[in-house]
Chains A and B, each alone.
Chain A
């Protein structure tokens, strides 16, 4: 790259274009500076930090329960995955084993969140390329999922559902029948969008061969998730390092070959179908029983006991006002988020607050690779590629 910006020179064809922090692509605040020759991008440089909210510093100021709220705001399209991954991290440091029902409820919530994250990504990507109909179609199914999530935990988007040692509420009685109906009807929506786009000449021309990321580059930039799988890197933490009960459910890992935008689109569509498959198996296998672990250190007592018994009131008060006492230790717990490998690195020196809370965000790796992906493509292709590399600014900047 040049050290100085080129002077305005009649014979120099290069122009610097700024796809600035406020842009219509609705992917959050990021900036892409491209040096273009005609319409072909010769060089790109990305700038982030426009949504840096100091969530990691807040991890050192807030207690473990208080910080749960901030985990929603990391990958806000699939907030439940972040909640559950954080709860898993603290449970690992404290050596708590959650109950079976909690485990399966968490799996259901994670797969549902994965579906809605893919829906947002696809809808934004398709809208950027101009196919507005599919945006409305996909967002309608988001509302269905939102209604279910709202019935379980009270909030549509930023849920704060998981607690350390359990979940804040058990799922209501009509959740499983509704989920079953969702699993029956949702694949028809994927089929509808598939019929509209996958064989569509315009869509294929728009996305095939665009935003290519080769396999070596995918490993070099250490991308994970759909971006890596579409480039041919066969990693999926659910299958390779199974956590919770992912080895008891059957699912396929979708791996592409070309690494372009079309492959990422197809991977996402198929992954939603696989998530529906996992959900159906979870519905069959979910056991009854308590949702809270029987551990005095973390178990949040029932409200009826809190209001009537003195010791339980004091215990409740201590858990929330002083914080739970986490022993000294550290851990790096990764889960397969909708975007890729989402990890929480927690260093604890004992006490109610963390010493260091680091979030490994998949979007950061993918946005670095984005600079490589759009070299040689046109500006309109850069926009289409940005939609397919699911960049969530909350996670990117933390």
Chain B
């Protein structure tokens, strides 16, 4: 069923074995509460987790699991669940993990409400720093424990979160000057806002 991949490639055996292992190990007993395993259009696994704490538990399990040995953060993003097709909460955080040694992919999803904080992954991967800043900028999902949560794509004085569904695409907010760049985690002082 993997149209993008050549049939009988060696990594597919590992990936398929991992898909069945997910069912046994990650959805066992007490761990299964609030979690769900679905498969996407090309039969790759998508694991829904319960909340932020559960996310950190799953990440630790994936990193230490000898079968998959996740060591790579492929991507960290989110999407707006305004029509509530994927549950009752507003946003869904999506994490794509990859293992360079076993070549297995897994996607982890976490549903969050408006203004609900998500624990940061910067302690696990330094790559998550800018990716979480981007999600904060474009969606408004705050990250608890992030060292430097400021806007990255838009100007720091910009109001609104563009990638939310209610933000009109042509609503511009230009600024006549370039604010001074400041190092470190400090937000803008009140006088410059």
Contact = CB atoms under 8 A, between A and B. Distances in A.
Do the two chains touch directly in the complex (Cβ atoms below 8 Å apart)?
yes
A247 B183 contact: no
Given A343-B74, A345-B96, A18 B79 contact: no
Chain A contact-residue range equals: 35 or more
Given A222-B73, A355-B79, A54 B183 contact: no
Interface in B62-117: 71-75, 77, 79-80, 83, 85, 94, 96, 100, 103, 105, 107
A3 B46 CA distance: 41
A5 B107 CA distance: 41
B30 interface: no
A235 B100 contact: yes
Identify which of B75, B151, B162 gathers the most chain A CB atoms within 10 Å of its CB: B75
Interface stretch (A93-101, A136-144, A191-199): A93-101
Given A57-B162, A331-B42, A332-B44, A3 B75 contact: no
Given A235-B100, A332-B44, A247 B130 contact: no
Identify which of A33, A329, A355 gathers the most chain B CB atoms within 10 Å of its CB: A355
B9 A358 contact: no
A220 interface: yes
B3 A91 contact: yes
B75 A360 contact: yes
A365 interface: yes
B4 A92 contact: yes
A2 B185 CA distance: 9
Contacts of A48: 130, 152-153
A359 to B, nearest CB: 9
Contact of B169 (A57, A233, A246, A345): A57
Contacts of B191: none
B123 to A, nearest CB: 11
30 contacts: A2-B184, A3-B184, A33-B183, A45-B183, A47-B181, A49-B151, A54-B162, A56-B163, A57-B169, A58-B169, A60-B165, A92-B3, A97-B3, A219-B100, A220-B126, A222-B127, A234-B100, A240-B100, A240-B103, A241-B9, A245-B6, A248-B6, A329-B40, A331-B40, A332-B96, A332-B107, A360-B74, A360-B77, A368-B126, A397-B153
B128 to A, nearest CB: 9
Nearest to B152: A49
A345 B94 contact: yes
Given A43-B183, A332-B75, 11 more contacts: A4-B186, A48-B153, A52-B154, A91-B4, A217-B126, A219-B100, A223-B127, A247-B6, A330-B41, A347-B79, A356-B80
Interface string B177-190: 00001111110000
Contact of A222 (B1, B72, B79, B165): B72
A241 B96 contact: no
Contacts of A43: 183
Interface in A210-240: 217, 219-223, 233-235, 240
